[in-house]
Amino acid sequence: MAVEIPADRPPIDPYPLSPYVAWAGKRNRDPILDVFKGLFPPSGDVLELASGSGAHINYFAPHFKEHRFQPSDYDTRVFDTIVTKRAEAGNANVADPVRIDLTDASTWPDGKDKLYDVIFVINLFQVAPVSIIDGIAQVAARALKPSGFLSIYGPFKVEAKYTTESNAAFDQEILAAKVPEWGLKDVRELETAANAHGILLKQKIDMPANNFVLVFGKQ
Ligand SMILES: C[S@@+](CC[C@H](N)C(=O)[O-])C[C@H]1O[C@@H](n2cnc3c(N)ncnc32)[C@H](O)[C@@H]1O
């Protein structure tokens, strides 16, 4: 059965400032916000990894006035956009973006000055090698409070299978780009790699459009 692509969807393009990433962000931000409203502690420090344009962090921040938000990315070209979106939203609780490259430990927070209540990442894995979970889990191991959680949002395979036809079709589209590390990853691969750093999968929350929020913690 052919899977219908929404008529307003721009061509798939993982560049963080592309029309496609903006379109995907508008679709997923409210469902993710609803989940975060149920998971966040009443106040605290929140780190976003791979923030891209900063669309999510600046959309969420006004809903969590007692929280301080830290955007980050490895690509410093997105920082101006994050700061512009912060100004447009008037978000006093969003810090200046910092450079964190999930493949380079020298850029990771060391957890000495600050520990985070929440670390989250949205839509990274389909355009990154599965090994990126090593970096994410090590950042969480260093910089997450013992009671904190790590949230990973995106489309994933479960037990080596696509959960829906539309996820299979999406994977075929990104695999067609023939970039070796692109493609849907399996929840089990993430879980196994995270476990090696003491980061454990606690919840797998079904989200619209066949995505998941994976919630990891330290204990
Ligand atoms: C598809 S975009 C998603 C951006 C944003 N999270 C969103 O959902 O709109 C993927 C993001 O991951 C970032 N990224 C890729 N590799 C990274 C790495 N090794 N460390 C940190 N960020 C990385 C890219 O710069 C880009 O901003």
Which ligand 1 atom sits closest to the C-alpha of 103?
Answer: 19
Choose the residue to mutate in 74, 77, 80, 99 for probing ligand 1, maximizing ligand atoms within 8 Å of C-beta.
74
Radius of gyration of the CA atoms of the chain, in A: 16
Interval between CA 144 and ligand 1 midpoint (Å)? 20
Listed by start position, the domains of the chain span 32-217
Amino acid at 67: H
Q: What φ, ψ does residue 25 adopt, rounded to 5°? A: -65, -40
The tens-digit pLDDT sequence of the chain (219 residues) is 566 788 898 988 888 999 989 999 999 999 999 999 999 999 999 999 999 999 999 999 999 999 999 999 999 999 999 999 999 999 999 999 999 999 999 999 999 989 999 999 999 998 899 899 999 999 999 999 999 999 999 999 999 898 888 888 888 888 887 888 888 899 999 999 999 999 999 999 999 988 999 999 997
What class is the 32-217 domain? alpha beta
Q: How far is the CA of 131 from the centre of ligand 1 (A)?
A: 14
Rounded distance, CA 166 to CA 184, Å? 12
DSSP state of 94: B
Taking the C-alpha atoms of residue 182 and residue 135, their distance in angstroms, rounded to an integer, is: 17
Distance 73 CA to ligand 1 centre (A): 6
Q: Give the C-alpha separation, 67 to 135, whole Å.
A: 24
Q: What are phi and psi of 153, to 5 degrees?
A: -105, 140
| pLDDT score recorded for residue 163 | 87
Instruction: Identify the residues whose C-beta falls under 6 Å from ligand 1.
Output: 14, 16, 21, 25, 50-53, 55-56, 73-75, 78, 100-103, 122-124, 127-128, 132
Atom of ligand 1 nearest to the CA of 75: 25
Q: Which mutation among 32, 72, 73, 151 tests ligand 1's pocket best, with the greatest number of atoms within 8 A of CB?
A: 73
Mutate to test the pocket of ligand 1, among 124, 133, 134 (most ligand atoms within 8 A of CB): 124
Ligand 1 geometric centre to CA of 50 (Å) = 4
Helical segments of 13-54, H only? 19-39
pLDDT of residue 134: 95
Give the residue whose CA is nearest to atom 4 of ligand 1. 52
| 3-to-19, 61, 173 alpha-carbon distances in Å | 21, 35, 12
| Cα–Cα distance measured from residue 150 to residue 201, given in angstroms and rounded to the nearest whole number | 9
* d(CA 124, ligand 1 centre) in Å: 5
What's the pTM value of the predicted model, to 2 decimals?
0.95
pLDDT at 165: 87
Specify the DSSP element, H or E, that contains 172. Answer: helix 165-175
What pLDDT does 166 receive? 84
pLDDT value for 56: 98
